[in-house]
Homo-oligomer: A and B are copies of this chain.
Amino acid sequence: MGKTNPGRFFEDYRVGEVIAHAVPRTVAEGERALYHALYPARHALYSSDMFAQDCGLESAPLDDLAAFHVVFGKTVPDISLNAVANLGYAEGRWLAPVWPGDTLNSVSEVIGLKQNSNGKSGVVYVRTTGLNQNGEPVLEYVRWVMVRKRDLDAQAPETVIPELRTVVDPADLVIPEGLDFTGYNFALAGEPHRWGDYEIGEKIDHVDGVTLEEAEHMLATRLWQNTAKVHFDATFRPDGQRLIYGGHIISLARALSFNGLANAQMIVGLNGGAHANPAFSGLTVKAWSEVLDKAETPAPGVGALRLRLVATKDGADPFALKGEDGKYKPEVLLDLDYWALIPT
């Protein structure tokens, strides 16, 4: 097995190290169609070139989460092949739309390391940047994962825990060039609700549900060239179940959130996120959102909503989140905190 990639272990990372990930990927109209087949995605800006042009863009970009998955997928062989858990996200920003025909690469910098007290694993913090064929960054985010050690006797590195913002400052959000919602067509978009109609603290039950299928989560995860065995190989886990890529749940919940947030068109910031419980085929996923904050932007007619997006599974109570012990309820799959752009 000398030529295969065993993945990196905790002791293989150094703070400051920059890892250029393989494999570059050109995304085009095929990926757009597949995204619409895999998720009940209906946000008009990504569904219609005409609608996008009426909003000042050259055409419909690739869904922001598809861009995230492509950038993320490349990091898996270098960052999370031996990960025990994906612990968190922070400081995520979409920096430029991804257009059909663009080719994406990913680069990660190790920005923190902390060996666990058990000596068997540690937490690795990386800041990942996705770049297009012109070398322009299209996305950056921090994530941290718990990674096993290969050699339990390997010396613990100096602990470095990066200071991470709990929320992206609205002033730091990057509005796509030309974006203009002053002529926004609410009828075509599907709902009349605009920025001013949402109140901080408001919760929205997105009502619809989708039952998970093995073929669907595998098609999606493969499309993003995410290679983690646990998603594809039913013989890998002792229980014979394929663990569903957390990003599949993110995209599914975001698409379900159309029903109530149809005008929250573009995702521009990722403040944080937790994959609260594992997801498996056969579960039915539903979603709810909470408006956490609101902000103005300098772009014409464009406001920002900070949203909590929660995905739940069968048996969840309305707006289920955490129990009295402060821990996520077992029916909660995802708790995501993001900024979206919406017409004012």
Residues of A at the B interface (CB closer than 8 Å) are 1, 3-5, 20, 22-34, 36-40, 42-44, 47-51, 60, 77, 101, 103, 105, 133, 187-191, 193, 197, 204-211, 213-216, 218-220, 222-223, 225, 227, 229, 232-236, 242, 259-262, 282, 284, 314
Contact = CB atoms under 8 A, between A and B. Distances in A.
B44 A23 contact: yes
State the copy count for this chain. 3
Given A1-B205, A3-B193, A220 B32 contact: no
A284 B233 contact: yes
Contact of A188 (B23, B32, B34, B189): B23
A187 B22 contact: yes
Main secondary structure of the interface of A (DSSP, over half): mixed
Contact of A26 (B60, B206, B223): B60
A27 B213 CA distance: 25
Nearest to A19: B187
Contacts of A206: 4
B189 A209 contact: no
Nearest to A232: B210
Contact of A235 (B37, B47, B77, B209): B209
Contact of A233 (B47, B210, B259): B210
A207 B187 CA distance: 46
B51 A24 contact: yes
B36 A33 contact: no
B40 A227 contact: yes
A94 to B, nearest CB: 21
